[in-house]
Amino acid sequence: MKVAVFSTKSYDQKYFEKHAGMHNHKFSFFETALKKDTVGLTEGFNCVCAFVNDQIDKVVMQALAKNGIKLIALRCAGYNNVDLKAAKKNGITIVRVPAYSPEAVAEHALALILTLNRKTHKAYNRVREGNFSLNNLIGFNLSGKTVGVIGTGKIGAKCSRILVGFGCRVIAFDIIKSKELIDLGVEYLPLDEVFKEADILSLHCPLNQDTKHMINGRSIGLMKNGVMIINTSRGALIDTVDVIKGLTEKKVGFLGIDVYEQEENLFFEDLSEHIIQDDLILRLNSFPNVLITSHQAYFTTEAMDEITTTTLENITAFEKNNELKNEIK
Ligand code: NAI
């Protein structure tokens, strides 16, 4: 197929080139995101390969259909950025990569927890400047703490296992309970109880109407003073204004985020020579107890291999009219 690959960096291209040999597709790589202003680039292609921050709404979907696009191959698991109704209406099939190294994301959540707690990012800078003082570097033992995992699917389950290994009490909320995790000692509780009891909260549920802004003024009000909130799932699970208020009032003790509500205007780009116009991220960055990474939780060699091979297999299956096991319906 003729595939227009959007939101690509040199590392994406490298992995496509590594795995493309087995397949017979022609790729054009665009650095720009797919959105209303760039959808014109898809003329002459029959497949689009998109990523987490490409905005495939109704208008874009109509334009894609008009340009002859038959397939959108998402190289990610989440699809909250795609208008599925519009896809159906316009006869466009959507496939995704449902699972790629859930360990990568779970391990990154742990990296955020451990870094915020033990302040290794600050110690690294200090020691390099000849400052060997321990002032303000004190942390706490993770062992024995209660961690609330919200969403115990593939990533939440891996995270729970790691936390049990650290000696934590893991409490969880999910609309579906996992017997395997219950056998491991994970306790499922109502959502508000998880908010109330957790020393650390780690979010691993998808973004949808039920979960949007689940971390808000009300839920923060239920939490322990000094709670640590970790979000490696989707930015809009957290109401950014409310969490900033929680941090300012010292109710929220730590915030570690790999995703951010308005990330599509910032993440994956080097903006170090630009004036950043997003006042909320600047405010978040000003807190000493906030750690932000720019959607890198998935970014391991294992995950990149899996994302690329599954995407290529999805496109080939569509081309050959084979069963589409990763279709979003
Ligand atoms: P999954 O589909 O295996 O698990 C999601 C879990 O959330 C399921 O068990 C589901 O029952 C549960 N859930 C659904 N609605 C819920 C609700 N209202 N409250 C609580 N739980 C609910 O998905 P997976 O692979 O574990 O991914 C989780 C999320 O992680 C994805 O939705 C995606 O947004 C994010 N993600 C982030 C990445 C990153 O690089 N930061 C990379 C990959 C995924």
Q: How much distance in Å is there from the Cα of 132 to the middle of ligand 1?
A: 41
The reply to whether ligand 1 has any atom less than 6 angstroms from the CB of 259 is yes
User: Do residue 56 and residue 83 come from a single domain?
Assistant: yes
Any domain includes 83: yes
Catalytic residue chosen out of the listed positions 96, 295, 306, 313: 295
User: Do residue 94 and residue 135 come from a single domain?
Assistant: no
Task: Tell me the CATH number at 130.
Answer: 3.40.50.720
Any domain includes 324: no
Residue holding tokens 């969880």?
172
The reply to whether ligand 1 has any atom less than 6 angstroms from the CB of 233 is yes
DSSP 33: P
Q: Of all protein residues, whose CA lies closest to atom 2 belonging to ligand 1? A: 153
User: Do residue 27 and residue 160 come from a single domain?
Assistant: no
User: Catalytic annotation on 103?
Assistant: no
The reply to whether ligand 1 has any atom less than 6 angstroms from the CB of 159 is no
User: Do residue 50 and residue 106 come from a single domain?
Assistant: no
User: Do residue 75 and residue 143 come from a single domain?
Assistant: no
Any domain includes 265: yes
The token pair at 318 is: 């569509």
Strand partners, 4: 28, 48
Any domain includes 325: no
Residue holding tokens 């994970």?
186
User: How many domains does the chain contain in total?
Assistant: 2
Helix axes 102-118, 301-319, angle to 10 degrees: 150
pTM of the entire predicted model: 0.94
User: Do residue 204 and residue 117 come from a single domain?
Assistant: yes
Quick one: which of 152, 43, 54, 36 has its CA closest to 94?
54
User: Do residue 95 and residue 119 come from a single domain?
Assistant: no
Dump the DSSP string for 174-238.
Answer: -SS--HHHHHHTPEE--HHHHHHH-SEEEE-SPPSTTTTT-BSHHHHHHSPTTEEEEE-S-GGGB
Q: What string of pLDDT tens digits covers the 329 residues of the chain? A: 999 999 999 999 999 999 998 899 999 999 999 999 999 999 999 999 999 989 999 999 999 999 999 999 999 988 999 999 999 999 999 999 998 899 999 999 999 999 999 999 999 999 999 999 999 999 999 999 999 999 999 999 999 999 999 999 999 999 999 999 999 999 999 999 999 999 999 999 999 999 999 999 999 999 999 999 999 999 999 999 999 999 999 999 999 999 999 998 899 999 999 999 999 999 999 999 999 999 999 999 999 999 999 999 999 999 999 999 999 98
| Alpha carbon distance 32, 18 (integer Å) | 22
User: Catalytic annotation on 313?
Assistant: no
Catalytic residue chosen out of the listed positions 169, 234, 261, 306: 234
The domain in which residue 17 lies consists of: 2-100+300-319
User: Do residue 284 and residue 208 come from a single domain?
Assistant: yes
User: Do residue 96 and residue 106 come from a single domain?
Assistant: no
User: Do residue 131 and residue 257 come from a single domain?
Assistant: yes
User: Do residue 132 and residue 148 come from a single domain?
Assistant: yes
What's the distance, Cα to Cα, between the start and end of the chain in Å?
22
Any domain includes 327: no
User: Do residue 186 and residue 248 come from a single domain?
Assistant: yes
